[in-house]
Structure 1
Amino acid sequence: MQPMYIGQVAFTTGEVSPDVSSRFDLEQYKSALLLAENAVIRPYGAVARRQGSQFIGYAKHNDKPVRLFEFTTNKNQSFMLEFGDRYVRVWRNGVYTNVEVATPFEADIVGELNCIQSGDVMFICSGKYPIQTLSRYSDTDWRMSAYKLTEQPYDDINTDNGHTLTVSGDTITSTKDLFTSDMVGSVIQIAYYVEAVHTKSVGEVLEKKVRRNYFAGQDTEKTYNNINYNVGAFSTDTELSWKFTTHGTWEGTVKLQISNNDGQTWKDYRTYTSKNDYNVTDTGKIEAGARLKYISDIKGGSVNCDLSIMPFTQYGIVEIKSVTDAKSAKVNVLNGIKEGEPSYQWKLGSWNRGRGYPKLCTFYQDRFVVAATDSKPNFIWFSRTGDYPNFGVEKAGGTITDDSAITLPVINRKMYEIRHLVPANDLIVLTSGNEWIVDGSKTITPTNCYLKTQTQRGALKCEPQFIGNRCVFVQERGGTVRDMGYSYESDNYTGQDLTLFVKTLVKGHVAVTSAYAQDPDSIIYYVRDDGQLNCLTYIPEQKVYGWSHFVTNGKYRYVESVAEGEQDTIYFVVDRVINNKNVKCIERSIPLYTEDNSDVFLDCYVKVANSIKTDYINAPHLVGQMVDIVVDGQQMPSRVVPPTGVIKLDGKANVITVGLPYTTKIKIPSVEQQINDGTLQCRLVTITRVALRLYRSYGGSVGRTFEDADDLIMKPKSLFTGDTAIVLPKIATSVNTNTEICIKHSKPFPFNLLAVTREVEIGGGFPNVHGM
């Protein structure tokens, strides 16, 4: 039979598990790989050798965890932040800026930090400490501080009438055990009933102003006493009702005046006139904190004035500064306490050292949103609209205002912990057991804030990524990566298992952290708990879900994507053993471009590029390691870096690169072709030749296995584009059922595989059946 030529022109499915390696009935089989190690899946179908990583420095501590975060300014200047044991260091464009700021975060919680940026301020939630902010005042001036809240959220009001609190001076006492040392720094809101406030005048002259009255000669202008009551800025009653009446027979003018700055200035509020024929009965409302008074200018007769403030509730707030015992504590009075008066209407602040602080934060519909404390793992708190530090509730006319803060519990049959908040058109809420949304079709208010359950999967703590209009997250159990997005057909959020065909990459392991690089290949990076890096090329509109993975001479620990200019740069924290010492390297990988020769295919590399030639390079971070060396684009023999860290060359060069080698392995599944008498599956076949279509590549070897792969023949000192074929050696077992092809590449040069074609000869039917 004449040989057949069977090609594979795309690899966008990426790696698949052995479980599905024979599912040639699947559409994804046509673009699948059995292995893509140290490779990336390109969006248009190619599979390429991954880019190397540049050594830029060590973490501050080699024996403690490190976490990376991106910080982008409004001038498109990006920084990479290194959070470690009670510190944060600032890096920019791969260079440490020598800026270090102290933080409260110990090493054991840096991996739990959750951040959101607004302008030049990063908000940081840890669960253990109050919300912190990292503010950038300049490139060299960064400051960490506790986020100062103007009002905190509170728990439900006390319902035990026999449990009262009384404040006297700086001491608060409780009729029952209440206070613990963990409450230091927390706040308590206490409500007091305030009876109506009245003031009356009976004609007493407080001051006299003499003026000329052309009709009656000389008269006296009288200014009467005034009500001057400040209800306090922390009252939830934003409007207080007042009533004003006059009595008597009088001619002249009476005015109500209002002050909104504690009586410093006054302006006319209402004006009333009478010519011995009118008395005032008027009502209205003023905002909390305002002051009212009345004055009169009487030409004749006598007038009596009554001004009243209707009954209202005054809310006082105290902050605990120390605890004496279970029934007594020292406090700072923040507002509105009625000295010595007991009250059973009190609320404890929702956040403190004992109850925990928020673990998550984001912004949504111009509100600062936080969630999940130790005591309330299923609660979400929304700040007031446009007033991020204010989690207070206000009322107008007895009704809670639309811009008031909101407390929203996620009610489950099981108390699932909220793991992530993802702002989109809706606010996506991922918990440890299911997925919800806060409906964003209308502006959320205290009376219009609804949770809707979507799916029942559960999310791991590994960060989700929001790409386009879809949320990609790691499932709580099994390590499965899923996406979810709104479906018009079902009017619900739905998604798919993105690891369905590649369970071997996730089974038995946990994703620790993730990052997304949009440019140039739209790749999500997942650091696995064993130090492997899994990569997903994700372009859902083109149905591209291509998996690969990275390994290195060490273990990946964290990954972050930082927008630098027109590109997304990937930063890694890598644990390595160098010169018999454990070190924590910070490394940087720029995007993989194939149009020039700037790409580097070595790990932990250093590079010098000078207009004046030199014959050495410093690599002290690689002492004792076998390294590859590239000099002006040509590979030199590998060497062990000496104790001095200086590698001397045989000649001088302009560009010298030194780093750790790594091997790219690509395995292409068996061919499938429908023929006259059926299928090629399980048939005796032989692969005689293989043709590769390459783009700007140099090096590589091809074989039936990685062990027997033969090198591709290429011209030195140039990258090859085009088709190249290799004849596979004839061996005794060359006629079998396996038509897989293995490609290996270990040189510090690019390798971009666009397509592969196999020359296949059919040798007959089934092989001998074992046991017959």
Structure 2
Amino acid sequence: MGTGIPQTAFTAGELAPSLYGRVDLARYLTGLKTCRNFMVMQYGGVANRPGTRMLGEVRDSSTRSRLIPFQFSAAQSYALEFGDHSLRVFMGDTGAQVVFPAGHLQAGQPYEIVTPWGTDDLPLLKYTQSADVMTLCHPNYRQRQLSRLGHADWRLDEFVNVNGPFRDLNSDESVTITASGTNGAITLTASSDLFTASHAGQMMYLEQSPDNSTRKWEVQKAIAINDIRRAGANYYKALTGGTTGTVRPSATEGTECDGDPGVNWLYLHSGFGIVRIDAVTSARSAGATVVKTLPANVMADTGAVGITNIVLSPYIGDKVAPAFWVQCSRAHGFPNRASVTITGVEGIPEANGTFAIVPADQANVFVIPDMTTGGSYTGGGTANLSTAPTPSYKWAFEAWNRDDGYPGAAAYYQQRQIFAGSGGQPQTLWGSRTQGYRDFGAGVPILDDDAFTFTIASRQVNEIRHIVELTELLLMTSDGVWTLKGSQDGVLTPASANTKRQGAYGSAHVPPVAIGSSALYVQAGGSQVRGIGYSFQDDAYIGKDLTVMSAHLFRGKEIVAWAYQCLPCSCVWAVQDDGSLIGFTYLQEQEIAGWHRHDSVNGSFESVCSVSGGREDSVFFIVRRVIGGVVKRYVEKLETRSFASIRDAFFVDSGLTYDGRNRSATTMTISGGVGWDETESLSLTASTAFFTAEDVGDKVSFTHDGTVCKLTITAFTSPSLVSVAPDRAIPAPFRATPFTAWSLERNVFAGLGHLEGQTVAILADGNVHAPRTVRMGSVTLDYHAAVVHAGLPITAEVGTLNLTVPGQNILDSKKLITKVTLVCEASRGIMVGPDAAHLREHKGTVPLDGGAAPAVTGTFEVLIPGAWDKNGAITVRQADPLPLAILALIPDVALGGN
């Protein structure tokens, strides 16, 4: 008799062959040689992964698609299928595909909307979310916002940023721009070749040259109506006359009074304005629309314009008052509140002079408010700007455009919308105004809640690929990780933003996942995973390679997608470029970090996402399968391992379920009996229209005192009435008495057309049924069953490392193992042996009633064929669609010499 040498934890997962000799490592004692289709669990054991449920085929199986999670709350979530210029939606909890509602032209068809991204764009598509709005960005496309209005009502709109951001101001004083007006539709004229066709649609910033002519606002000064004053960088027009108060105007829109009584001021501009370019007519000319009033100083001198008439008529400004309405011989081009000098007017001498004018609706008319006259116009006169404007060299194009590209990363942080990393400015970060997610403008002087633009100062130029919020904001670039910090209280402002390099390992484009207070990211190159978190001891973010112990799973491969499933087992599911799937169970505080690999018959994994779905997070995959020689791509959902009955255990891939258990209020009533036994033909009446002619031959079953009674349908009379033959005497409580606890059992499982020609594994009422090949979309069972799961088989296998004992050198000793004891939880169907070629099955207890054996928690002993060798390894396999969770594995070992 040998000695039991237990392995009570498997938390290190599958270790690389290069570690097979490292018996000195603590992780060797908790590691495995093989962990295939088993998951490392948070309690230290391993459990075979559940199957995947078929949800639907992607919109176009000939091209790749991508899954992205949409999480509004813990109770409301969706998996979004992004395809070639398309988007479809799956419910996060049930996995049901959202369809167009009744009344729609496509009612019942999968709900979808059009997107701008093609298949090749999807890998670089990044996203962030706030409540019902998801912001998506791609370096080649203007940002979009996806809004959820209902399950089948989604909107995808361009992100419309206002007031910026802009590139750095032009510093070449020889390249100037003038505008034909300060509001409305204008023409921009450059002093040299500047505009290209790609500028159409862009915003442009225009700042006036230094202004020393406009008087400053001062306390207790006499002011006349229409006087212009500047306070700081802002310009204001007096709406009332009087003496200024003691409060300097600071408004950047509307009106403001500077005291009591003081003067009412109308905000004009802040020394700059913004236009949106509509069309480029030449390299030096472009048409534009003013979106923020331009200073008059950037307007081109329109030259003197002839006057053809002047009429005295009321003008409604801040009050109703008589005014001169001046008609010109052509469009005058004078900006609002411009200072205009009029000379040579005959008949109205009061019209000659310098005035602050107001443009009228007609391009050739302007108004001089608050004027009176006793004369009438008889002829003559010219009007011209009092001071010729100075062309501005202080201009800047919008930061995001077709030439420079668009941001490739996005986040929400401290009530700001953050973007980063465009093609033209790969190391630049843009933050919106606080609580103004679209507003990227800043005033003069800059305030703490203004938008900001910040560029990482480093020796190399590496694009910002991700923005991750932990205790601070992490900027993950292609060559390193940086923190972006604010002031001492942690608030990020334009004046307090500063960066610090935290590590020299860059990030791939796969989005990082946050787990607790740390994050995992795929290192640039795609074949390593690093963890990063804050260390109080080092006062820095420290990272480590999490793949070094299982490097064989990554060699020659890249991770192309992954998702974190927090519940139930804190597992990251990662898809590799060769179609393989690996899992990583990670609980840093419990020192659990184990990799496990997974495969699916005739399947290559291409995308994955995870969303909260209630008690467990829901994991969705896109799996490529070849069915009948044709490539098919299916959206499949990882099922739960939690089940109350073995009948509900789901351990098949791309599977479906037939569930004939009644879950409605429909009742069945048995009638027509005399002796009420199996010799009679009875009537079965449903309280609703339930039956069809195809039900003949199927069975309705119910249970009484632990005994199952079955009624075989022999004839169809109507949707509510059939004839049945009982298999035993009908219990008295069920005679002519309606009951709801019934099931409809079938022996033909239809609806499997997506697996046509494939051999499927079957669990029928908790019993393993022989495999069947799908023909014409269905399989026929050997018996009737109420609950049937059918799908591709899963082979799960665990292999231990060569046996060792802590503190002893037995690696080169011969060993003999003839018995293995397993401690299991909720398990059934166990095969054990020294290797995959010599497995012995543990024979469970068969219930006396012929029903399904339950999943058992306890100790299982299996005698295995033993032979002396130096390995002392054990293989455990689950090849049936049944659960197996191993808590400990104890081989009975006899030790020999070398």
Both proteins in one fold, TM over 0.5: yes
Distance 1:180 1:609, change over 3 A: same
**Residues 478/583 of structure 1: CA separation in 2 closer, same or farther (3 Å cut):** closer
Cα distance, 1:173 vs. partner? 2.4
Q: Supply the distance in 2 between the matched residues of 1:431 and 1:326 (Cα, whole angstroms).
A: 36
1:604-657 Cα shifts (integer Å, max 9, x gaps) = 001011132223222110101011122111121111111x20223343221111
Name the counterpart of 1:302. Answer: none
What is the number of equivalent residue pairs in this alignment? 691
C-alpha distance 50-651 of structure 1, shift in aligned 2 (>3 A): same
- Which residue is equivalent to 2:10? 11
1:573 to 622, 633, 638: 622
Tell me, yes or no, if structure 1 residue 721 matches structure 2 residue 846: no
Name the residue aligned to 1:504. Answer: 552
Deviation at 1:411, TM superposition (A): 2.1
Query: Which residues of 2 match residues 189-208 of structure 1 at below 5 A?
Result: 189-193=205-209, 196=213
Query: Residue 532 of structure 2 corresponds to which residue in structure 1?
Result: 484
Alignment of 1:336-375 (within 5 A): 336-337=293-294, 338=296, 339-340=299-300, 341=389, 342-375=391-424
2:277 corresponds in structure 1 to: 320
Larger CA deviation: 701-710 vs 531-540? 701-710
Q: Which residue of 2 aligns with 1:116?
A: 128
Equivalent pair of 2:765/2:785 in contact (CA under 8 Å): yes
Determine the C-alpha separation between the residues in 2 that align with 1:324 and 1:507.
55
1:495 to 532, 543, 560: 543
Distance change (3 Å), C-alpha of 1:281 and 1:674: closer
Closer/same/farther in 2, CA of residues 224 and 401 from structure 1, 3 Å limit: closer
Residue 875 of structure 2, aligned match among 725, 742, 745:
742
Structure 2 residue identity aligned to 1:645: G
Structure 1 contact 226–294 (Cα < 8 Å) conserved: no
**Identical counterparts, % of pairs:** 30
Corresponding residue of 1:687: 817
Partner of 2:517: 469
SS at match of 2:128: strand
Note the alpha carbon deviations across 1:41-89, whole angstroms, 9 max, x for none.
1111111110100001011010122111222235821121111111111
Per-residue deviation, residues 359-396 of structure 1 (Å, max 9, x unmatched): 1111111111011111111111111111110111112x
Q: Name the counterpart of 2:746.
A: 614
Give the corresponding residue for 1:44: 43
Runs of at least 5 residues in structure 2 that lack an aligned partner in the other structure? 100-110, 301-388, 662-743, 847-851
Pick from 568, 584, 591 the counterpart of residue 543 of structure 1.
591
CA positional deviation for 1:230:
11
Q: Is the 8 A contact 1:199 1:307 kept in 2?
A: no
For the residues of structure 2 that align with 1:306 and 1:42, how far apart are their CA atoms?
A: 73
1:634-645 to structure 2, matched below 5 A, reads 634-642=767-775, 644-645=776-777
Structure 2 CA distance for partners of 1:722 and 1:286, relative to 1, 3 Å: closer
Match in the other structure for 2:178 = 166
Distance 1:581 1:291, change over 3 A: same
Instruction: Determine whether 1:648 maps to 2:780.
Output: yes
Decide whether aligned partners of structure 1 residues 552 and 674 sit closer, same or farther in structure 2, where only a CA change above 3 A counts: closer
Q: Distance in 2 between matches of 1:456 and 1:497?
A: 12
Distance 1:691 1:354, change over 3 A: same
User: Which letter maps to 2:816?
Assistant: T
Contact 1:39 1:48 in 2 (8 A): yes
Q: How has the CA–CA distance of structure 1 residues 110 and 156 changed in structure 2, closer, same or farther, with 3 Å as cutoff?
A: same
* Residue of structure 1 aligned with 2:471, choices 417, 425, 433: 425
CA distance in 2, matches of 1:582, 1:136: 32
Q: Report if the CA contact (8 A) 2:252-2:269 is conserved.
A: no
Match of 1:585 among 627, 630, 634: 634
Match of residue 805 from structure 2: 673
Paired letter, 1:729: P
- 1:358/1:28 CA distance change after superposition, 3 Å: same
- Which amino acid counterpart does residue 653 of structure 2 have in structure 1? D
CA RMSD of aligned residues (A): 2.9
The partner residue of 2:201 within 165, 182, 185 is 185
* Higher relative contact order (CA closer than 8 Å, sequence separation 6+): 1
Q: Which has the larger radius of gyration?
A: 2
Q: Does 1:385 align with 2:434?
A: yes
Per-residue deviation, 1:132? 0.6
Change in CA separation of 1:552 and 1:229 when aligned onto 2, cut-off 3 Å: farther
- Cα pair 2:256 2:265 within 8 Å, conserved: no
1:744 Cα deviation from its structure 2 partner: 1.7
Gap change, CA 1:735 and 1:566, over 3 Å in 2:
closer
Distance in 1 separating the partners of 2:242 and 2:502 = 59
Looking at structure 2, the residues matched to 370 and 564 of structure 1 have their Cα atoms a distance apart, in angstroms, of 29
Distance 2:223 2:249 in 1: 22
Once residues 199 and 19 of structure 1 are traced to their aligned partners in structure 2, the CA distance between those partners, rounded to angstroms, is 77
- Alpha-carbon separation, structure 2, partners of 1:283 and 1:16: 73
The one-letter code matched in structure 2 to 1:567 is E
Q: Assess, with a 3 A threshold, how the Cα gap between structure 1 residues 25 and 309 changes in structure 2: closer, same or farther.
A: same
Q: CA deviation at 1:686?
A: 1.8
Q: Give the residue type in structure 2 aligned to 1:623.
A: E
1:186-227 deviations in Å (ceiling 9; x for gaps): 111111245655799xxxxxxxxxxxxxxxxxxxxxx99622
AA partner of residue 650 (structure 2) = V
TM-score (norm 2): 0.73
Q: Cα deviation per residue 1:524-577 (whole Å; 9 max; x = unaligned)?
A: 111111111111111000000011011112100011011112220100000000
Aligned to 1:501, what secondary structure does the other structure show? Answer: helix
Structure 1 residues 209-608: aligned runs within 5 Å: 226-227=225-226, 239-240=234-235, 284-291=248-255, 314-337=271-294, 338=296, 339-340=299-300, 341=389, 342-395=391-444, 399-440=445-486, 441-477=489-525, 479-553=527-601, 554-593=603-642, 596-597=645-646, 598-608=648-658
Alpha-carbon shift at residue 164 of structure 1 (Å): 0.8
* 1-structure distance, mates of 2:54, 2:263: 80
Which digits, 9 at most, give the CA deviation of each residue in 1:666-717, with x for residues without a partner?
A: 1111221268xx5211112222222212222111322222122222222243
Distance 1:708 1:401, change over 3 A: same
CA contact (8 A) 1:228 1:293 kept: no
CA contact (8 A) 2:826 2:884 kept: yes
Deviates more, 1:624-633 or 1:2-11: 2-11
CA distance in 1, matches of 2:746, 2:263: 95
State the AA in 2 paired with 1:173: T
CA separation in 1, counterparts of 2:30 and 2:257? 82
Distance in 1 of aligned mates of 2:264 and 2:77: 60
Letter in 2 for 1:289: E
Cα deviation for residue 442 of structure 1 reads: 2.1
Q: Check whether the contact 1:384–1:392 (CA below 8 A) recurs between aligned residues.
A: yes
CA distance in 2, matches of 1:15, 1:158: 58
Q: Which amino acid aligns with 1:378?
A: Q
Q: Which amino acid aligns with 1:358?
A: P
1:102-144 C-alpha deviation (Å, 9 max, x unpaired): 1111121122211111111111111222111111122222111
**Separation in 1 of the partners of 2:54 and 2:498?**
48
Corresponding residue number in structure 2 for 1:214: none
Partners of 1:306 and 1:437 in 2: CA distance: 48
**Structure 1 CA distance, aligned partners of 2:879 and 2:268?**
83
Q: 1:373 is aligned with what amino acid?
A: S
- Alignment counterpart, residue 712 of structure 1, candidates 812, 832, 842: 842
* Counterpart Cα distance in 2 of 1:380 and 1:599: 49
Greater strand share, 1 or 2? 1
* Amino acid across the alignment from 1:46: G
Matched residues in 2 for 1:173 and 1:12: separation?
Answer: 69
Alignment correspondent of 1:658: 790
